[in-house]
Chains A and B, each alone.
Chain A
């Protein structure tokens, strides 16, 4: 079945460092891909999404490009801030209106 694999954490960075969180997926067809963020004590928030190959999702300085050839959707940010400390989930949706399949989540900790 469909699945999402993302890099194990935790990821610990200093402020202004470059961030990459790897995410690969397995799916039949052409899923939509998402990154969600969960701040401590809060629910999931949609960070960005891409619905077709070569689309780039971006938000708050974060970017991810839908790469069909490598079945990947890696999350990147050029300069992280302490406020970016959170758990990041990669997810896919096989088709519109269906439940999301999540990766295990990657904890990011940014220190000043």
Chain B
């Protein structure tokens, strides 16, 4: 089946630094990738939709200058948390949809746990 990977799986950083999270579709091309954020014991909240070769679309309340998203190829999207602060600590999850067709199944990465000290 379709596999999505994320790297790193966990990261600890100091307040004020930037952290980059990669999301890759390993065996399919993904024209669209989504970035979600999950707080402890809560549901996933969509942060942004990333389309290959175009600017990401951010959900209301998500700071686009703080959460930089780049979708440089059909298999890679990156999320950079700039000037991270403790309140940015969370579980970040990406998902990808296969390109073309009518399928709307999303394949999720294993997530990245970010802890900002």
Check B107 against A46 for contact (C-beta < 8 Å).
Answer: yes
User: From A46, which residue of chain B is reached at the shortest CB distance?
Assistant: B105
A32 close to B104 (CB less than 8 A): yes
Contacts of A96 in B (CB 8 A): 97, 102-104
Quick check: A93 and B104 within 8 Å, CB to CB? yes
Determine which residue in B32, B106, B111 has the highest number of CB atoms from chain A within 10 A of its CB, and name it.
B106
Partner of B109, one of A43, A101, A103, A107: A43
Interface contact B111-A43, CB-CB below 8 Å: yes
Q: Which of A88-107 contact B (CB under 8 A)?
A: 89, 93, 95-105, 107
In-complex Cβ contact of A100 among B6, B103, B106, B111 (8 A):
B106
- On whether the beta carbons of B104 and A95 are closer than 8 Å, the reply is yes
Q: Is A44 an interface residue (CB 8 A)?
A: yes
The total of chain B residues at the interface (CB under 8 A) is 22
Distance in Å from the Cβ of B5 to the closest Cβ of chain A? 10
Verify if B44 is at the interface (C-beta below 8 Å from A). Answer: yes
Which of chain B's residues has its CB closest to A45's CB?
B108
Chain A interface residue bracket vs B: 20 to 34
> Within A17-49, which residues are at the interface with B (CB < 8 Å)?
32, 36, 42-46, 49
A and B contact pairs by CB, cutoff 8 A, 30 listed: A32-B104, A42-B110, A43-B93, A43-B109, A43-B110, A43-B111, A44-B93, A44-B95, A46-B105, A46-B106, A46-B107, A46-B108, A89-B43, A89-B44, A93-B104, A95-B104, A96-B102, A97-B97, A98-B49, A98-B104, A99-B34, A100-B34, A100-B44, A100-B106, A101-B46, A104-B43, A105-B41, A105-B42, A105-B43, A107-B41
Tell me the B residues contacting A by CB distance below 8 Å. 6, 32, 34, 41-44, 46, 49, 93, 95, 97, 102-111
